[in-house]
């Protein structure tokens, strides 16, 4: 079983009916939009890294038990420039683009200057996010592209820097119950300071472009002035934002000279295993950092699972690695060799639970564990006044691309859906994990590659796992179509599948993921410079649609 990761996708912009096998629940009404790399070569040039491929949008519309599919390339400026030149002319994180040798000196000089102070790509191949009433394709640069979520047509280009001084922005925002959006960006050397900016986009005034109403919650100085930490996502509870400043850093000075040195920007990122990881806890309402300082050992986190508050503690669940080998796995040169990454330096992740006590440590002796929750073995040991060293509990291993019922985002959850990556970063199994019993149930099928599972809650559901799980599946059997799989969220058994009669492309999940269901969009994993975690949105309010049909 193999997949050609370098094969360019073919778009199908008109809706096509899928062949449904089984029975799709009547209440499942809406559109699932996925975003990920789909174009890997232009003319005689090719991308060096799989995550650099140009954005390819797929939509799966569910209505009255039927499914239609369509797909389009995102018509970004990057896409248009590459197509016009018939070669890759815009650099990506893992691929440095150089001018055609026939170009004159002035053109080459301008290209050099553009890479010294880079104007980043708008190839938004990581996720789909919602600001106000609008949907955007996003990566982790300062550019996002507005799209029509139904036709998949590309619309306006939006630059965060016209509203906030941020050069890099997470592609995994959070949404609260009122529809407010929370996100974080990195401001590089603005007024001589490099800092993380946490911001909110209010839900009101939906007739006004959302970013015009952006509010800065707070700023946090980077621990290293010219080496900000890389992050792919962050955590949020009802009252707190949780940000992990990990020792996986971007060297700004090296980045400025990367083009001249003939290396890509990804090579300017470095992991410092001898350094500790800082965990910042920020009050959402006041923007103040909690005075307690939380430290843990070196790690690399791409995906947060969830976070919640419990009896004077913040519980933080993440998928963590001990190194940065994951990104290296997706260079095209490695993908073409062998998918058996375990013997090739692949380090499997584990699901870790941290517990951050938020009460005062006055009167607590040095060396005492301040975690008082009985259902976890995680610890937070006082080192000195105002400083705790945190040790996580490992809930399971070889599990990635976590998704929860987003109605439980910021609340205590029991179930998590994800991909099994025990032996390889390329998953052939999806699973449901019970955080209380530590038991796992699986779905797999021979010669099939499933994407990360996306949970959609049933309107007025009776339990946390009352709903369905959507998985796009690549079928490698010659002559057979790929399909969208629908699993029961409770027993994880197949309910239905819809064969789309076209090829689907691999969308590993390191980055994007969002679905709007009964309340607001759900944030999951994504795909940009470090992990692809593709995103989704059920664009219609499922509960409202269901109630209208019932009446």
CA dist 463 and 142 (Å) reads: 39
Which H or E element spans position 444?
none
Residue closest to 52 by CA, chosen among 25, 82, 10, 20: 82
Number of neighbouring beta carbons within 10 Å of residue 394: 12
Rounded CA-CA distance 436/387 in Å is: 29
Catalogue the E-assigned strands of 212-261: 215-221, 235-236, 240-245, 248-250
Token couple for 255: 């980045």
Distance CA 302, CA 319 (A): 7
Which tokens sit at 312? 């004077």
DSSP 261-283: HT--GGGGEEE-TTSPEEEEEEE
- For strand 134-138 and strand 143-147, is the pairing parallel, antiparallel, or unpaired? antiparallel
* Angle at 355 (CA atoms; ends 286, 384), nearest 5 degrees: 80
Q: Is 304 annotated as a binding residue?
A: no
Tokens encoding 285: 């309402």
413 is in an annotated binding site: no
CA distance 76 to 376: 47
Our CA dihedral for 184, 189, 191, 195, rounded to 10 degrees, sits at 30
232 is in an annotated binding site: yes
- Residue stretches of the annotated binding site for Fe cation: 172, 232, 303
- Residue stretches of the annotated binding site: 172, 232, 303
């Amino acid at each position: 079983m193999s997949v050609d990761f370098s094969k360019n996708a073919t778009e199908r912009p008109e809706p096509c009916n899928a062949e449904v096998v089984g029975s799709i629940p009547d209440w499942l009404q809406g559109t699932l939009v996925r975003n990920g790399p789909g174009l890997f070569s232009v003319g005689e040039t090719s991308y060096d890294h799989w995550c650099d491929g140009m954005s390819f949008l797929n939509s799966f519309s569910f209505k009255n038990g039927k499914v239609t599919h369509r797909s389009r390339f995102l018509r970004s400026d990057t896409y248009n420039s590459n197509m016009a030149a018939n070669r890759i002319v815009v650099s990506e994180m893992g691929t440095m683009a150089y001018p055609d040798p026939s170009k004159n000196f002035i053109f080459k000089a301008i290209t050099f200057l553009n890479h010294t102070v880079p104007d980043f790509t708008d190839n938004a191949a990581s996720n789909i996010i919602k600001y106000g009433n609008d949907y955007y394709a996003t990566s982790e640069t300062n550019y996002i592209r507005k799209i029509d979520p139904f036709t998949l047509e590309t619309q306006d280009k939006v630059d965060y820097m016209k509203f906030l001084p941020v050069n890099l922005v997470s592609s995994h925002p959070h949404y609260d119950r009122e529809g407010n959006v929370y996100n974080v960006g990195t401001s590089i050397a603005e007024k001589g300071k490099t800092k993380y900016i946490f911001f909110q986009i209010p839900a009101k005034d939906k007739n006004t472009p959302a970013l015009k109403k952006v509010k800065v919650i707070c700023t946090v100085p980077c621990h290293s002035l010219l080496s900000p930490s890389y992050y792919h996502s962050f955590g949020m509870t009802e009252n707190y934002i949780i940000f992990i400043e990990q020792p996986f850093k971007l060297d700004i000075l090296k980045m400025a000279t990367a083009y001249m040195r003939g290396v890509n920007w990804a090579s300017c990122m470095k992991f410092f295993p001898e350094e500790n990881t800082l965990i910042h806890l920020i009050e959402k309402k006041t923007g103040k950092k909690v005075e307690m300082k939380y430290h843990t050992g070196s790690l690399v986190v791409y995906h947060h699972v969830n976070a919640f508050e419990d009896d004077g503690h913040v519980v933080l669940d993440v998928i963590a690695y001990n190194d940065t080998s994951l990104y290296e796995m997706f260079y095209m040169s490695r993908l073409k060799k062998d998918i058996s990454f375990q013997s090739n330096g692949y380090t499997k992740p584990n699901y870790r639970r941290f517990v951050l006590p938020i009460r005062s440590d006055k009167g607590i002796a040095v060396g005492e564990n301040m975690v008082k929750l009985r259902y976890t073995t995680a610890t937070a040991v006082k080192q000195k006044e105002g400083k705790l060293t945190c040790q996580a509990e490992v809930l399971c291993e070889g599990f990635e691309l976590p998704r929860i019922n987003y109605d439980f985002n910021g609340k205590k959850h029991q179930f998590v859906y994800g991909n099994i990556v025990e032996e390889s970063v390329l998953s052939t199994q999806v699973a449901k994990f019970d955080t209380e019993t530590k038991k796992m149930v699986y779905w797999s099928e021979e010669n099939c590659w499933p994407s990360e599972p996306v949970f959609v809650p049933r309107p007025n559901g009776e339990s946390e796992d009352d709903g369905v799980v959507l998985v796009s599946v690549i079928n490698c059997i010659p002559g057979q179509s790929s399909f969208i799989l629908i699993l029961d969220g409770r027993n994880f058994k197949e309910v239905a599948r819809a064969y789309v009669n076209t090829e689907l492309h691999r969308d590993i999940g390191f980055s994007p993921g969002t679905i709007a269901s009964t309340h607001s969009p759900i944030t999951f994993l994504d795909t940009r410079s470090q992990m692809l975690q593709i995103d989704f949105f059920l664009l219609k309010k499922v509960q409202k649609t269901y109630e209208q049909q019932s009446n």
